[in-house]
Amino acid sequence: MSTIALPTSTAAPAGSAVSGWRQLIADWSSDRQAFHVAWGKAMMWIFLLSDTFIFGCFLTGYMTVRASTTAAWPNTSQVFALHIGGADVPLILIAIMTFVLITSSGTMAMAVNCAYRRDRVNAAALMFVTAGFGEMFVGMQAFEWSKLIMEGVRPWGNPMGAPQFGSTFFMITGFHGLHVTCGVIYLAVVATRLLRGKYERAGSYQIVEIVGLYWHFVDLVWVFIFAFFYLW
Amino acid sequence: MAATNLTQAAPGRPSPAQASQPAQEQAHQEHPIGLYLKVWGLLFLLSAMSYAVDYFHVQGLLRWGLIVTLMLAKAGLIVAVFMHMAWERLALVCAILLPPLALLVLVGLMASEAGHTFLARLVMFP
């Protein structure tokens, strides 16, 4: 696919001027690059690919224990129901969490769009809004965890059915919640730096798109968890 | 205008040859805000439909078919539009989207393993 010939003559002969890791990188890449996108973006994509395998393995493990247990699997529709207005609304908390996360994905997309137009203040403001929705999501997850723990759900057993339910629930949603928490911190750090003009001086707003990739990935993982863990 | 801004090299890039990339390389990343709003609305609609599958107790093959279809539609929209995969170079798209397909092999292996364990449990611990 690569149609762009990079001028190789501009680079110093590998090995003469540089040493150590720089030299190793120069030798291995031979001053060529496979992906003609910003370096940080390619690296974030590769990190997200590795994360895809982590969550893929979690969900596959969940499938394995759920398919191999002889005990009845707890009915998630009822387990995650909330008592609102005198009636049990099935799975309502999870539905609200899903909508909160999608909303945050939308505001993140807007922030990236603002960053392309170098609208610094709006991009940072939208990133803080995104982080706020992320924090709201984590808060609801903490509520959900407390509720289940009070109902007696443990990693090794629960009163509703198959003991594997607890271990997979805490493992998968816990790891996802950790990702959301890290994302909130990441967003807050980058948005603060953006406001202070750090990226103005560096000359590139690319970092906003990179944070955006991470945040959309967190939403993407939730799509799969929602479908396989809560709805299945 | 955006073209000149976006092609500036990020700090720490190893290659000085980077600066010689054509200006239109990344300029195509700017899209009308309406596109994002439409996708956002669609994601809301698809999520509401997934929830409705549970709320109205759709059962059997129809339930699983709907859950997986809606899930893939949502994932596709997020990756293609929000994560800009639809406008990336094919080399990057292939490098990122093809490897996860290996997970299907793992799923296949583990599904047969789980079936075996299930039957063994029925026989050994009746």
For A60-88, write each residue's pLDDT tens digit. 999 999 999 999 999 888 888 888 877 88
Number of domains in chain A: 1
Weakest mean pLDDT among A100-109, A166-175, A193-202, B89-98? A193-202
Lowest mean pLDDT among A20-24, A143-147, A223-227, A228-232: A20-24
Where residue A61 sits, what CATH number does that domain have?
1.20.120.80
Domain that holds residue A55: 37-231
> Mind telling me how many Å the CA of B124 is from chain A's nearest CA?
12
Is A212 within 8 Å of chain B by CB?
yes
- Note the pLDDT tens digit of each residue in A96-146: 999 999 999 999 999 999 998 888 999 999 999 999 999 999 999 999 999
Chain A residue numbers touching B119 (CB-CB < 8 A):
none
Gap between the Cα atoms of A117 and A127, Å rounded:
15
Handedness of CA A188, A145, A96, B47 (dihedral sign): positive
**Confidence at residue B32, expressed as pLDDT on a 0 to 100 scale:** 84
* Whether residue B100 is found in the same domain as residue B71: no
Q: Is residue B4 part of a domain?
A: no
A26 within domain boundaries: no
Q: Name the pairing type of β-strands A82-84 and A87-89.
A: antiparallel
pTM of the model: 0.83
| B21 lies in some domain | no
SS3 A84: strand
Q: Is B20 on the interface with A (CB under 8 A)?
A: yes
Determine contact, residues B121/A73, Cβ cutoff 8 Å: no
Chain A interface includes B117 (CB < 8 A): yes
A17 Cβ under 8 Å from any chain B Cβ:
no
For B88-93, what is the mean pLDDT? 90
Same domain, B35 and B83: yes
- B28 close contact with A: CB closer than 8 A: no
Please check whether residues B40 and B83 belong to one and the same domain: yes
| Structural domain for B35, as ranges | 30-87
B-facing residues of A in 137-166 (CB < 8 A) are: none
A30 to chain B, any CB pair closer than 8 A? The answer is: no
Chain B CB contacts of A110 below 8 Å: 33, 36
Q: Where residue A24 falls among pLDDT bands split at 50, 70, 90?
A: confident
In a domain? residue B53: yes
**pLDDT confidence tier of residue B10, bands split at 50, 70 and 90:** very low
- pLDDT averaged over every residue in chain B: 81
- The predicted pLDDT at position B9 comes to 42
Residues of A in contact with B90 (CB under 8 A): 1
Does residue B10 sit within a domain? no
Return the exposure string of B85-104: e unless at least 16 CB atoms fall within 10 Å of the residue's CB, then b: beebeeebbebbeeeeeebe
Decide: B7 and B21 in contact? Cβ < 8 Å.
yes
* pLDDT score of B100: 95
Nearest to B92 among A35, A39, A224 (CB): A35
Span A157-175, average pLDDT: 93
Cross-chain residue pair B71–A105, CB shorter than 8 Å: no
Whether B67 is in a domain gets the answer: yes
Q: Are residues B99 and B59 in the same domain?
A: no
Range in A27-36, A141-150, A208-217, B103-112 the model is least confident about: A27-36
Which pLDDT band holds residue B23 (cuts at 50, 70, 90)? very low
Mean pLDDT (chain A, rounded)? 89
Residue B33 has pLDDT above 50, yes or no: yes
Cβ of residue A198 closer than 8 Å to a chain B Cβ: no
In contact, B71 and B49? CB cutoff 8 Å: no
Scan for tokens 């540089």, then name that residue: A18
Claim to verify: residue B45 and residue B56 sit in the same structural domain: yes
Q: Are B43 and B81 in the same domain? A: yes
Rounded average pLDDT over A170-194:
96
Q: Directed axis angle between helix A120-150 and helix A92-116, to 10°?
A: 160
**What pLDDT was estimated at residue A176?**
97
Interface predicted TM-score (ipTM): 0.83
Kindly list the residues from chain A whose CB atom is less than 8 angstroms away from the CB atom of residue B37: 106
